[in-house]
Structure 1
Amino acid sequence: MLALDLLYRHGKPIDRHHPDSIELSELLRAAPIYPEAQRKGSFRNSDGVALKLQNLLSAIDPNRGLSFSKTDTEVVAEFPISRKAELAKLAIAIREALSDASEIVIGDQEDIEFQEGKFLTARHRQRDRRLRKKLIEARRPGGLKCEICNFTVSPNASRSTDSFFEGHHTIPLAAAEGERTTRLSDMALLCACCHRFIHRLIADNRRWVGTTEAAAARKALLFESKGTATVV
């Protein structure tokens, strides 16, 4: 989608030396959405960006005789030139989601509102990247504490201990049909382990699992394991 937006903006493919090819390459390479261990040196480089624009143009005009993928065809079919303006807006939203957004200085009260849930594509919803940071700032004066396992960090601990914690929506974004307002009071502070655990419970049970139920499930698992292993 970002490459097609670039193609529409220029009206033709651009080469790998063009500043926009380089900029899109840097954005995609910096995005934390692909495991770095699985990346090759050429991963999303400017050559690849330039080639993708050629592929997309061929999907628009197959008579050019160049190759293009099924995904190229699907994207072009979903966003023809007549939807250029709509695609441009989606591209901006995707770029904002991939980039480290500029920090906005706001208070740390629990009633701060964040707009979330906007559809970026048919499969992904936008999340406000400030939520975790502001949640941690709001909870730090009383000490950071996981709401499932009760792992606690002192208010005077170094800022590096923030990395132990993540923000978890207590109400799933999927429950809303479109955008919604999220307050810090709608978020739970969880340690990274419990955050992964609750999402695995949700996936395994194929339904939403709250933090109270997750805490009970964790205790049950620890109780079962005491007879066969040492629990830390």
Structure 2
Amino acid sequence: MAVTQGHGNPKWGRDEVLLALDLYLTLGDTIPGPSDNRVVALSEELRKLPIHADAKKNDRFRNAAGVAFKLQNIHQVATGKGLDNFSSTDKAVWEDFGHKPDLVRQLATQIRAQAGDASVAAEAATAEDDEEFSEGRVLTAAHKVRERSPALRRKVLKARRAIGPLVCECCARPPLTADASIAEAEFECHHKLPLSQTNATKTKASDVALLCASCHRLIHRLMQTRRGWASVEDLRAALCQAT
């Protein structure tokens, strides 16, 4: 099966396919051509999305013709009609979201909003492929930027210390050291619910769990392998199955 890359340009990312899917789900049976204003607008939007290095783009990067072709790719995945040249990402995004138009619209809205945040854009531009959630690189970056907020972390640690000793909310392990000056470094914040579900513009202390660094890494990997959200309870169950 051929993979659409666009004349030497980088492969389409999940963010880009989600934005194209958002347009596709509004079109009905007619797929517009490259001169359509909606296609031109999406082309301009994709060219600004901070998920590919500028050095990897050429003058034809995500041009209107390529966007119109991507809509045809999605149509083929959705209906089985047309040229068999869609990518594995097209297929995966359709399987994950193709029958959830309201969620697609919500994700597309959030991708557009978060892509304009300088901190999120910087994180998205340097993220590794194996760190990406099913919602795409931009929302993965937004998730991580918020979790790393020093102010949020201070609030969470203060709240947890007020009710007892610090422990990981997944594996229940206390700090490995009794040295209070470094013990807190073992713990990280993790959203209890995905940003796409809460739609919150700011993360509160009550929105996150306090996990040890190991469990935090594991829960992110679990979400990547599942191509969907995993709760702290999901990770706890997975750890029990492994023992």
TM-score, with normalisation over the residues of structure 2?
A: 0.45
TM-score, with normalisation over the residues of structure 1?
A: 0.47
Q: Compare the two structures and name the one with the higher helix fraction.
A: 2
For the pair shown, the structure with the greater C-alpha radius of gyration is 1
Higher relative contact order (CA 8 A, sep 6+): 2
